[in-house]
Structure 1
Amino acid sequence: MVAAKIHVNGRDIPLGDIPAHTTALEWLRGIGLTGCKEGCGEGECGACSVLVARAGVDTPTEWVAVNACLLPAAGLDGQEVVTVEGLGDPDHLHPVQHEMAVRGGSQCGYCTPGFVCSMAAEFYRPGREADRPDADHGPNGFDLHALSGNLCRCTGYRPIRDAAYALGAAPGGDPLARRRDEPAPPPRPTRLRHGDGAFVRPAALADALTLLREHPEATVVAGATDWGVEVNLRGARAVLAVAIDRLPELRGFTVGPDHIEAGAALTLTEFERRLAGRVPLLDQLFPVFASRLIRNSATVGGNLGTGSPIGDCAPVLLALDATVLLTSADGEREVPLADYFTGYRRSVRRPGELIRAVRIPLPPAGLAAFHKISKRRFDDISSVAAAFALDVVDGTVVRARIGLGGVAATPIRARATEAALEGEPWSAATADAAARVLRGEGTPLDDHRASAAYRAAMLEQGLRKLWADRPPEATA
């Protein structure tokens, strides 16, 4: 097996003899690239962001900004990384660095390298300049969601936004712009052992499943947005980490006559772009799911696989009547997502099984909404999440699906409320009566995010909001 190395700022650097849990941030700073900083260690502040070359949707390669504090360094074996040092230097500033400097986008400077890398990823996004200006896009097509995972406590953000909106096209001869026209580096098998821990990236799904059957104690790692937090804040260490994020068998995407099948290792950003608006309920989810930095790494299967009761994908996919395809060395089975969760962070997934894909029935419901209640609009964890999917025919609710998060030990379907809606006229009276039923669904708790009473009240108001926002003439 080829010695592990990462192509950083134009040169190959051996990964070296490092523990399997070493983050990309630790490794980069250890080799002297100290522009990326640790501000939180859990993917909330963006001070650690760097650029990674990945296979693109619209061009062979796209530059994607990621949280280096969460990614295992071994997971970047064979990949290309650009840090803030690789974008420019004091004598030859990158356009993003120049605009940040002249518009006062940096004060203490701690967060600046992370902002620059996130901004550079959007600067190089194919088709950016063709996007029309709106509440989220500047006159140059710059999508402010690209910066939703970067926090600054000095500038008040306006000069940073001004810098983003001042960016033009990449200048002729820009090497990172030209790089988009060449294939991205393919994933390659990796095997790293240090002390009592090991990191393995199998070459194929069959190899991964064999490993998991032989080593049931292994930790499965995809985007590492959950495991990275465990490593940084809780000292988690894996005897064996098995990376599955680049396995081609887990990264498919197909649209059939009656369903969409999305590979479990697609990042949420990739999932959103491949859906291309086919499922409006998911379109409402993506912008408020954590931040762009997190969505660039977090995977569909990972969000379900952790079994968290406050994961945002589950309520939406429950409302969509999704199923999960579970695969192991012994075969594959399809399980309705409504039957998948069995307890707090527990599921029907057996030892040695992986989520291979998620299936979403078509066509989606005609009336759909996702309500996320959190302390911050973006880059935050839900206190309550509710997804609604109703089919209304001739003014009558013929089918209702409601997925809830944050109100029980698992994500749940609001079955009593669904029953209260189905067969009834879609009216204010029906919505009001069903809202009172919805208030009693689940077993919400008091915690640092919200009280049980608040969560129950938000459920009730959520259904009333659905009625207020979508009157019957829009859905009959």
Structure 2
Amino acid sequence: MTRFILNRIAIGDHAHPATVVLDLIRQRQGLTGTKDVCREGDCGACQVLLGKIRGGRLRYQAVNACLLPLGAIDACHVVTVEGLNAESLNPVQRALVDCGAIQCGFCTPGLVMALTGFFLNAETSDEQAAIDALAGNLCRCTGYAGIKRAIARLCRQFDLSVSPPECRIDDLVRWQILPAYFSEIAAKLAALSPRDAVEPSPDALLVGGGTDLWVARPHSLHIRPLAFLPDSSDSVRFDADDCIVNAAASIEQLQTSKLFRQLFPSVTQDFELICSAPVRTRATVGGNLVNASPIADLAVFFLALNASLLLVSHDACRTVSLKDFFQGYKQVDLQSGERLQAIRFNRAAAQSFSYEKVGMRRHLDIAAVNSALGIEHTDGRIVSACLSAGGVAPVPFYFEKACDYLQGRPITPETVTAAADIARQEIAPISDLRGSADYKRLLLRQLIFAHFMKLFPEAIRWEQLHAR
């Protein structure tokens, strides 16, 4: 049985742990304010708040209920739009109404949850950050102008910089963004101990975030045992000269990690290209790698850092280079009983780093081609280079020949164009819905050019590359 708090009420449910929370709250609890639309995490109409005790404090995040399995909410607080309602509209709801952000109303509950999630977590009342928090919410009616007006009004009305994280829930209750009962939830969750840990069966499917599993094969998950990995508390740490990333960390934890931002100042902008905030909240780093998609964003990212993987089983562990981990389309070097525990790379690999992605949409889309480049250099000469790309081979691809060529070369337009030509000869892309093979070869060249122009703007300019 899974025990949790749904809005104000403690619940015990015997449904299969693969049951998504969307079905539980609508069909089993009759709470229909949460809308059932895409069931793929794309529209945001089913967003709820998920609250957990972490680090001794109750923390909430807006998540897509269509991708949230029952097995992941034990000893948690699940909040639907009904759980935010009071006798009159709260400030978030009122702003959406007054600013013309509502027409048909179908997306409105998701907008309310996403905005409330922003106020629960943001450090400051930054309008652009609030817009990113709503990037996973689609609206067919408003043209989004009214939604942006509501965001601007709320950010002017409530100053989050004066509300420290440990006081945030009490402050939002005082501002009437949250109902008063939220002040009692932490104590209730502490009394609602999670189920006792049970050794999973050998054939159990390990589940991290499950954001891909519950899209690709949700029904098959009901006929096999599942083992849910615990949340990561230490997403990133430094060890001597290396950076170690916990494979169970979510993409959002990676993006907001101060240590990771220290190495990659542009990580916030880079990861906004990958997926929306509710998906980043649930999707794990290890899941993105083990899924082995040829366009896996984090696989491409870590390949350009020459990363290695720590694989562990019940009685052993081993280290595998990420370059050697991908063995064929959707095939990885993961033996029976093993799981990915951590990703390690040398911090010097982040000296000059660039990530680029091109899809049908600028943001939140599957890549046609994505690419990353990590370079160590001194005195205008490349010491070492790691170049990777997705969408150009059956696996996330590491360019051995192009990287060998770049080593020791001067950073000049001639070097860049020659490396791009070598890289294009290493790949064998296929034509598919995301573009023709010729188009992907062209994209790869342009992304390689973009890497060097971004990292070395004084030495590499577009007109120098374009003329060659």
Flag the 1:260–1:238 CA change in 2: closer, same or farther, 3 A.
Answer: farther
Partner of 2:206: 220
CA distance in 2, matches of 1:321, 1:428: 24
Partner of 2:112: 116
Partner of 1:195: none
Amino acid at match of 1:48: C
The range that moved more, 144-153 or 172-181, is 172-181
CA distance in 1, matches of 2:223, 2:290: 17
CA distance in 1, matches of 2:30, 2:262: 45
Flag the 1:409–1:237 CA change in 2: closer, same or farther, 3 A.
Answer: farther
Partner of 1:321: 306
Q: In structure 2, which of residues 58, 62, 70 is the aligned counterpart of residue 61 of structure 1?
A: 58
Partner of 2:216: 230
**How far has the Cα of 1:125 moved from its partner?**
1.7
CA distance in 2, matches of 1:457, 1:84: 47
Partner of 2:75: 78
**How far has the Cα of 1:66 moved from its partner?**
0.5
Q: Does the CA-based 8 Å contact 2:4-2:11 persist in structure 1?
A: yes
**Deviation string for 1:137-166 (max 9, x for gaps)?**
35xxx4321111111111111111111121
**How far has the Cα of 1:173 moved from its partner?**
6.3
Amino acid at match of 1:172: R
Structure 1 spans left out of the alignment, 5+ residues: 132-136, 191-201
**How far has the Cα of 1:287 moved from its partner?**
1.5
Partner of 1:386: 371
Q: How many residues in Structure 1 have an aligned counterpart in Structure 2?
A: 439
**How far has the Cα of 1:311 moved from its partner?**
1.1
**How far has the Cα of 1:262 moved from its partner?**
1.8
Amino acid at match of 1:87: L
CA distance in 1, matches of 2:409, 2:344: 29
Flag the 1:304–1:162 CA change in 2: closer, same or farther, 3 A.
Answer: same
**How far has the Cα of 1:185 moved from its partner?**
4.7
3-state secondary structure, aligned to 2:137: coil
User: What's the Cα RMSD here?
Assistant: 2.5
**Deviation string for 1:357-398 (max 9, x for gaps)?**
111211333322111111112221111110011122111111
**Deviation string for 1:238-258 (max 9, x for gaps)?**
41111114376xx55322221
CA distance in 2, matches of 1:468, 1:438: 17
**How far has the Cα of 1:76 moved from its partner?**
1.1
**How far has the Cα of 1:264 moved from its partner?**
1.2
CA distance in 2, matches of 1:39, 1:446: 31
Partner of 2:136: 149
3-state secondary structure, aligned to 1:144: helix
**How far has the Cα of 1:443 moved from its partner?**
2.0
**How far has the Cα of 1:301 moved from its partner?**
0.7
CA distance in 1, matches of 2:240, 2:369: 33
Q: Does the CA-based 8 Å contact 1:21-1:238 persist in structure 2?
A: no
Flag the 1:299–1:179 CA change in 2: closer, same or farther, 3 A.
Answer: farther
**Deviation string for 1:9-64 (max 9, x for gaps)?**
1211221x32333110000102111111122111111111100113568x923220
Paired residues for 1:351-366 under 5 Å? 351-366=336-351
Partner of 1:11: 9
Paired residues for 1:372-383 under 5 Å? 372-383=357-368
Q: Does the CA-based 8 Å contact 2:349-2:375 persist in structure 1?
A: no
**How far has the Cα of 1:453 moved from its partner?**
1.1
Amino acid at match of 1:392: H
Flag the 1:370–1:238 CA change in 2: closer, same or farther, 3 A.
Answer: farther
Q: In structure 2, which of residues 119, 123, 132 is the aligned counterpart of residue 127 of structure 1?
A: 123
3-state secondary structure, aligned to 1:36: coil
**How far has the Cα of 1:203 moved from its partner?**
2.7
Partner of 2:163: none
Structure 2 spans left out of the alignment, 5+ residues: 159-171, 461-468
**How far has the Cα of 1:6 moved from its partner?**
2.0
CA distance in 1, matches of 2:375, 2:328: 27
- Relative to its length, the structure with more helix (as a share) is 2
Partner of 2:38: 40
CA distance in 1, matches of 2:420, 2:179: 52
CA distance in 2, matches of 1:173, 1:286: 31
**Deviation string for 1:182-209 (max 9, x for gaps)?**
589579655xxxxxxxxxxx738xx35x
The range that moved more, 158-167 or 283-292, is 283-292
**How far has the Cα of 1:180 moved from its partner?**
11
**How far has the Cα of 1:112 moved from its partner?**
1.1
CA distance in 1, matches of 2:67, 2:382: 44
**How far has the Cα of 1:350 moved from its partner?**
0.5
3-state secondary structure, aligned to 1:430: helix
Q: Does the CA-based 8 Å contact 1:307-1:346 persist in structure 2?
A: yes
Runs of 4+ off more than 4 Å: 173-190, 281-284, 472-475
Paired residues for 1:245-260 under 5 Å? 245-246=230-231, 253-260=236-243
Flag the 1:4–1:181 CA change in 2: closer, same or farther, 3 A.
Answer: closer
Q: Does the CA-based 8 Å contact 1:285-1:316 persist in structure 2?
A: no
Q: Does the CA-based 8 Å contact 1:50-1:84 persist in structure 2?
A: yes
Flag the 1:443–1:236 CA change in 2: closer, same or farther, 3 A.
Answer: farther
Q: Does the CA-based 8 Å contact 2:173-2:183 persist in structure 1?
A: no
CA distance in 2, matches of 1:440, 1:38: 46
Q: Does the CA-based 8 Å contact 2:52-2:75 persist in structure 1?
A: no
CA distance in 1, matches of 2:282, 2:446: 33
CA distance in 1, matches of 2:260, 2:375: 21
Partner of 1:424: 409
Q: Does the CA-based 8 Å contact 2:46-2:65 persist in structure 1?
A: yes
Name the TM-score, length of structure 1 as normaliser: 0.86
Q: Does the CA-based 8 Å contact 1:60-1:183 persist in structure 2?
A: no
Paired residues for 1:299-378 under 5 Å? 299-378=284-363
CA distance in 2, matches of 1:227, 1:390: 34
